[in-house]
Structure 1
Amino acid sequence: MNKIIEKALSQYGIREIKGIRDNPKVLRYFNELGYDGYKLKDETAWCSAFANWVCKKVGVDYSGKLNARSWLGVGKPVEIPKQGDIVVLWRESPNSWKGHVGFYIRQTKNYVYVLGGNQNDQVNIQAYPKKRLLQFRRV
């Protein structure tokens, strides 16, 4: 199994805690990157923090930033992705600064399956419409 996928799967099911409490496992993704997770809280968008944490742990390049689109500058773009490649998606509109990032699992004609953090407030695998794809990247 790919080391990126293996590390990301080790976190499968970790989720935010609603309300004033925070999941220390989610805060760890921020803290180990040099951000103050206790100030940011687990309701802060954490997909990029999770992707950074995974890549840092396995010793590959990472953006070090909390915005998903920062991953468009990491590694190299690829047309045919492999498991563990980075998937960068747009949110709201293709021109928005907002996005989502995770790790490629597989794809169908219309969907790309992403293993990522902050997907329905947890680490899981979720299908996203391919029309939201900005780029696949290999680190």
Structure 2
Amino acid sequence: MNKVNPWQFLQVKLPTWGLFIFGALPVIIEFAMDKQFIPTEYHAIILAVVLPVLREIGKRIPQRELHEPQLNLTGVNTLISVPVANTSDLAWMVEAKKHLGLKENTSKTAHNPTILKWLKTLGAWWQEDETPWCGTFVAWCLKTAGVAYPKHWYRALDYVNYGSKLAKPAYGCVAIKTRNGGGHVCFVAGRDSKTGKLVCIGGNQSNMVCYALYNESDFHEFRWYGKTNRPADSRYNLPVLSGVTSTKVTEA
């Protein structure tokens, strides 16, 4: 670990210089006092007020952090935005959002290595991303969060047999619906600001991990798969989201 050099910070330099001027040079101070340059009654004020003020000034002057990464910003935007982690978010939702934009390989001759990793870890007997993988995505996210998931995790409709049934959707709950030829499963992430529809994040939604809009009535059941029997009451206050345009996605 690199040692921190305090002299790189102005909040250390400025008060130290002040202390040197007003403390380590008593002859100058005495001379200034004798000549009434610095009245005696202000000496204590200088030590008690000026030095702390210098320290605060040093804090507020922009400085390069000691361990700031050295980036080559040539040709790129120098305003790099780093999102602040939401520490109250559910672990499986954090994992789900990490994979937004992940797509299956539709060439049928190659497969997305991330999806193959999920299948292998979950114990699948197949290794391709053409079989509908919405259940695989949900099981993976729950597994990484240490939450139990269905034995037949690859069957979307089997998710109605586990967890706790909810009377209405809650943030992070598992939503299960039927479709032509099978079912679909995803996580409830919020409610659309314009349409009032549910915003859900799921895998194999138009062959990718994405947000999509659904009517609440589209789903057969909402179930809670957390480590508790029911979600916190605050989870029923669904976040109001905007910018989701996928009102209809393929799920097969």
In the alignment, what sits opposite 1:133?
219
In the alignment, what sits opposite 1:106?
190
Contact 1:28 1:37 in 2 (8 A): no
What CA deviation, in whole Å up to 9, does each residue of 1:104-127 have, x standing for no partner?
Answer: 112367632211100111111111
Partner SS for 1:131: helix
Partner SS for 1:7: helix
Look up the equivalent residue of 1:122 and give its one-letter code: M
Partner SS for 2:209: strand
Unaligned runs of at least 5 residues, structure 1: none
1:48 to 122, 135, 139: 135
Look up the equivalent residue of 2:120 and give its one-letter code: N
What CA deviation, in whole Å up to 9, does each residue of 1:35-77 have, x standing for no partner?
Answer: 1342xx1111000011011111101121132110010011101
Structure with greater helix share of residues: 2
Runs of 4+ in 1 over 4 A off after TM superposition: none
CA deviation after TM superposition for structure 1 residue 26, in Å = 1.1
Structure possessing the higher radius of gyration over alpha carbons: 2
CA deviation after TM superposition for structure 1 residue 81, in Å = 2.4
CA deviation after TM superposition for structure 1 residue 131, in Å = 2.9
1:17 to 105, 109, 123: 105
Partner SS for 1:9: helix
Structure with greater strand share of residues: 1
In the alignment, what sits opposite 1:123?
209
RMSD across aligned positions (CA): 1.6
Task: Tell me how many residue pairs correspond in the alignment.
Answer: 133
Taking structure 2 as the reference length, the TM-score comes to: 0.50
Partner SS for 1:6: helix
Kindly, what percent of the aligned residue pairs are identical?
A: 27
Structure scoring higher RCO (CA < 8 A, sep ≥ 6) equals: 1
In the alignment, what sits opposite 2:124?
35
1:8 to 92, 96, 100: 96
Cα distance change, pair 103–88 in 1 and its aligned pair in 2 (3 A): same
Taking structure 1 as the reference length, the TM-score comes to: 0.88
Summarize the alignment of residues 56-67 of structure 1 with structure 2, pairs less than 5 Å apart.
56-65=143-152, 66-67=154-155
